[in-house]
Amino acid sequence: MSNPRSDRPADHVDAPVAPAAPVNPRLSPVGWLRFLWRLLTSMRTALVLLLLLALAAVPGSLVPQRSSDPNGVIQYQRDNPDLFTVLDGLGVFSTFSSPWFSAVYLLLFLSLVGCVIPRTKHHVDALRARPPRTPQRLERLVGFTTRTAAGEPERIVDRGRAVLRGLGYRVERYDRGGELSISAERGYLRETGNLVFHVALLGVLLAVGVGGGFIYTGQRVLVQDTAFTNTLASYDSINPGRFFDESKLEPYSLRLDDFTGSYEFDAASRTWKPVDFTASLSTREPGGDWTPAELKVNHPLQIGGTAVYLLGNGYAPEITVRNPAGEAVFSGPVVFRPQDANLFSLGVIKVPDGLDRQLGMIGLFYPDPIAAGNGALASFSPEANDPILTLEVYAGDLGLDTGVPVNVYQLDTDGLEQLVGRSDALKLGLGDTVDLPDGLGTIEFSGLRRYVALDIHHDPTQGWVLLAAVTALGGLLLSLFIPRRRLWIKVRPGADGVTLEYAGLARGEDPALERVVAELADRHAREFEPVGPAPAGSEPAESAPEGSVGPERRIEP
């Protein structure tokens, strides 16, 4: 107990300065290990590793990251091919999974484990221990002050114990010679909070690291009046974690019934600003009925162990292509991808079967068309208002039969014959039908639907990470704002009354300690004040008039 901070790494400011260890030039292997371990778990190493961690994160913000901005990485490669090769060799495009970043945080957490285990052991012991023996001399301690009192020493010391207890201190009576004393300690929660904080950080790392393997995220574009069922094959794309198990997918269904986007015109920038996106869905859990549900940005839909996010939206014109005999050879909504804030969109229609030749068309869609000069069109707003679809038409082998997956949103025009170019593009309003070139048939813009782009996530770690993070915050608040201190009251009977001594000891920084000792002394001694010429032996009642000792001061616990 003589060393209040033996629980801390040796280079903690409050740790005793160890006598310089005899320099042993030839450490045994075990000695080396012990030396390295002590080095790793020292305060200075933790500090240096923390600073290194901050430094190592910087490149991750300077160049685009594969994880968050893959297109940015490709762009970077295009713009600076030479620099890219060098930087990519260093791994800065995946900073946060790079070996050097991982090394820093793994070492840091190793250091943390090594630091926390001995401290926890020590703290558990401290929790069970009694407050330490009252020092022989209080004079040199913080806030030392003395009072005189009238009354019976035993009663005075008992009252002191009660006052300290009331303030939340753990108390212990120690008597030595004729001196009676109370030793009190409080603020164990400070160290508890600190340990909880550090352990909870480990918890965050573990939850993210281990739990991450169970995460999957999938993407799916869902067109109005169509449904999606949560099976592997229904996703447009999916990123499964290491422990992903297809059989765990719960086959619920979602159907998009309606979508509304509302916008406000911003006169200053002459643009439409989105105000709200709402997708009206119907959902069905296995064995259940369709039930309506609403999906908005910022408000994911929880269903079947997944969270469904609304990430994007657009228009899907319904197209019907007929052969010269009038039979429909292609019919359905085609997803067009927005190119600007007014939902001017680009889409590709591929008709592989049923016509004399395979046809590919590149379509431009203007929900709210206006002339943009040079005969070109633009969209004035994102709202559909006499929309127009224009089409370039290509014929030839679309390459759909080679077995190689083809991007449905792109048309590779190499090797195709252009039948209709941009300048004389087919132009259709909603409900219009026009002839395809070369007597191939007709095409109709038969309807218009909305679609939404959904992100579907399954993340069982969330709850754990949140729990660990909230625990860390709780521990942090305890450790930052609860003072840990010791207080002593000594009662020394003398010839002419009783002398009371008060003093404290801070563990860690405690600027309020002096005031706390003074307030304790005031509050305790006041009850036993020898009140001037009052008849001896008449102790003031506990409810002595406040005015006699000035305004009551709040005692800081």
Say how far apart CA 351 and CA 327 lie, in whole Å: 13
Count CB atoms within 10 A of the CB of residue 488: 27
Q: Rule CB under 8 A: which of 168-207 touch another protein?
A: none
150 binding another protein? (CB under 8 A): no
What is the C-alpha end-to-end distance of the chain, expressed in Å?
24
Q: Give which of 208, 202, 229, 225 is closest to 304, Cα–Cα.
A: 229
Angle between the 188-211 and 99-128 helix axes, to the nearest 10 degrees?
140
Q: Which does 15 bind (CB under 5 to 8 A by kind): another protein, ligand HEM, none?
A: another protein
Give the residues lining the site for ligand HEM (CB under 6 A). 8-9, 12, 41, 43, 46, 50, 108, 111-112, 115, 194, 197-198, 201, 476, 479-480, 508
**Closer by beta carbon to another protein, 372 or else 470:** 470
307 binding another protein? (CB under 8 A): yes
Query: What's 461's DSSP letter?
Result: T
107 binding another protein? (CB under 8 A): no
Q: Which does 194 bind (CB under 5 to 8 A by kind): another protein, ligand HEM, none?
A: ligand HEM
**Closer by beta carbon to another protein, 61 or else 543:** 61
Around 462, how many Cα atoms within 13 Å sit in the side-chain half-sphere?
9
Say how far apart CA 309 and CA 457 lie, in whole Å: 8
Q: For strand 237-240 and strand 253-266, is the pairing parallel, antiparallel, or unpaired?
A: unpaired
In the bound complex, what is the minimum distance in angstroms from residue 508's beta carbon to another protein? 8
**Closer by beta carbon to another protein, 357 or else 457:** 457
Are the C-beta atoms of residues 126 and 170 closer than 8 Å to each other? no
Say how far apart CA 453 and CA 37 lie, in whole Å: 52
275 binding another protein? (CB under 8 A): yes
Q: For strand 179-186 and strand 442-458, is the pairing parallel, antiparallel, or unpaired?
A: unpaired
**Closer by beta carbon to ligand HEM, 87 or else 476:** 476
Strand partners, 256: 281
250 binding another protein? (CB under 8 A): no
44 binding another protein? (CB under 8 A): yes
In the bound complex, what is the minimum distance in angstroms from residue 68's beta carbon to ligand HEM? 23
In the bound complex, what is the minimum distance in angstroms from residue 125's beta carbon to ligand HEM? 17
**Closer by beta carbon to ligand HEM, 209 or else 421:** 209
Say how far apart CA 361 and CA 421 lie, in whole Å: 10
Count CB atoms within 10 A of the CB of residue 356: 12
Say how far apart CA 524 and CA 527 lie, in whole Å: 6
Q: Which does 130 bind (CB under 5 to 8 A by kind): another protein, ligand HEM, none?
A: none
Say how far apart CA 299 and CA 282 lie, in whole Å: 16
**Phi and psi of 17, rounded to 5°?**
-75, 115
Q: Which does 112 bind (CB under 5 to 8 A by kind): another protein, ligand HEM, none?
A: ligand HEM
**Closer by beta carbon to ligand HEM, 49 or else 138:** 49
**Closer by beta carbon to ligand HEM, 46 or else 256:** 46
In the bound complex, what is the minimum distance in angstroms from residue 28's beta carbon to ligand HEM? 25
Say how far apart CA 149 and CA 198 lie, in whole Å: 47
**Closer by beta carbon to another protein, 360 or else 382:** 382
- The type of residue at 220 is R
- The type of residue at 32 is W
- Name the residue with tokens 């003072």: 483
State the binding string over 65-84 for another protein (x if CB under 8 A, else -).
Answer: x-xxx--x------------
Around 117, how many Cα atoms within 13 Å sit in the side-chain half-sphere?
8
Please identify which residue in 266, 294, 327, 412 interacts with another protein, judged by CB under 8 A: 266
Around 221, how many Cα atoms within 13 Å sit in the side-chain half-sphere?
17
Candidates 168-176, 281-289, 401-409, 455-463 — which segment interacts with another protein by CB under 8 A?
455-463
Cα–Cα distance list, 413 to 170, 298, 393, 410 (Å): 83, 39, 10, 9
Q: Which does 216 bind (CB under 5 to 8 A by kind): another protein, ligand HEM, none?
A: none
Q: Give which of 18, 2, 7 is closest to 41, Cα–Cα.
A: 7
Say how far apart CA 426 and CA 394 lie, in whole Å: 12
Q: Rule CB under 8 A: which of 481-510 touch another protein?
A: 481, 509
Q: Which residue has the CB atom at the shortest distance from ligand HEM?
A: 115
In the bound complex, what is the minimum distance in angstroms from residue 198's beta carbon to ligand HEM? 6
In the bound complex, what is the minimum distance in angstroms from residue 361's beta carbon to another protein? 33
13 binding another protein? (CB under 8 A): yes
Question: 245 is written with which tokens?
Answer: 């198990």
Please identify which residue in 391, 472, 482, 487 interacts with another protein, judged by CB under 8 A: 472
In the bound complex, what is the minimum distance in angstroms from residue 522's beta carbon to another protein? 18
**Residue ranges that bind another protein, judged by CB under 8 A:** 11-15, 43-44, 46-47, 50-51, 53-54, 57-58, 60-61, 64-65, 67-69, 72, 95-96, 208, 217, 264, 266, 268, 273-277, 296-300, 307, 309, 311, 455, 457, 459, 462, 465-466, 469-470, 472-473, 476-477, 480-481, 509, 511, 514
